[in-house]
Amino acid sequence: MTIDQQLELLTARHVDLFSGDELKKKLEIAAKEGRGLRIKYGADPSAPDIHLGHVVGLNKLREFQDAGHTVVFIIGDFTGMIGDPSGKSATRPALSKEQVLENAESYKKQVFKILDPEKTEVRFNSEWLGEMRFEDVIRLSAHVTVAQLLARDDFSKRYADNRPISLVEFLYPLVQAYDSVMVEADVELGGTDQLFNLLLGRELQKIYGQHPQVVMTLPLIEGLDGVQKMSKSLNNYVGVNEASKEMFGKLMSVSDELMWKYFLYILCRPPEEIDAMRARVSSGELHPRAVKDELGRCIVDRFVGEGEGAKAAEEFARVFAERKLPTDMTELALEGEIGLIDLVVKAGFAGSNGEARRLIQQGGVRLDDVQNKDIKAVIPPVDGMILRVGKRKFARLSLS
Q: What are the chain's domains?
A: 3-218 (3.40.50.620), 244-321 (no CATH), 330-399 (3.10.290.10)
pLDDT digits (tens, 9 = 90+) for 62-101: 999 999 999 999 988 887 766 554 444 344 566 777 887 8
pTM of the model: 0.79
CB 373 within 8 A of CB 334: no
Residues forming beta bridges with residue 72, ordered by sequence position: 40, 121
CB 110 within 8 A of CB 240: yes
Provide the total of helices (H) and of strands (E) in the chain, helices listed first: 18, 13
CB 373 within 8 A of CB 309: no
- Percent helix, percent strand, percent coil in the chain, to nearest 5: 50, 15, 35
* Predicted pLDDT of residue 87: 45
Residues 6+ apart with CB under 8 A from 71: 39, 41, 61, 64, 65, 115, 119, 120, 121
CA dist., res. 127 & res. 38, Å (int): 18
Low-confidence ranges of the chain (pLDDT < 50): 85-91
Closest by alpha carbon to 26, among 3, 49, 55?
3
For residue 145, give Cα distances in angstroms to 142, 169, 210, 374, 388. Answer: 7, 14, 20, 58, 56
CB burial of 270-308 (b: ≥16 within 10 Å; e: otherwise) equals eeeebeebbeebeeeebeeeebbbbbbbbbbbbbbeeeb
* Predicted pLDDT of residue 231: 87
* Predicted pLDDT of residue 92: 55
Taking phi first (over 0 means left), then psi (-120 to 50 degrees means alpha), and beta for anything else, what does residue 19 get?
A: beta
CB 365 within 8 A of CB 372: yes
CA dist., res. 209 & res. 203, Å (int): 10
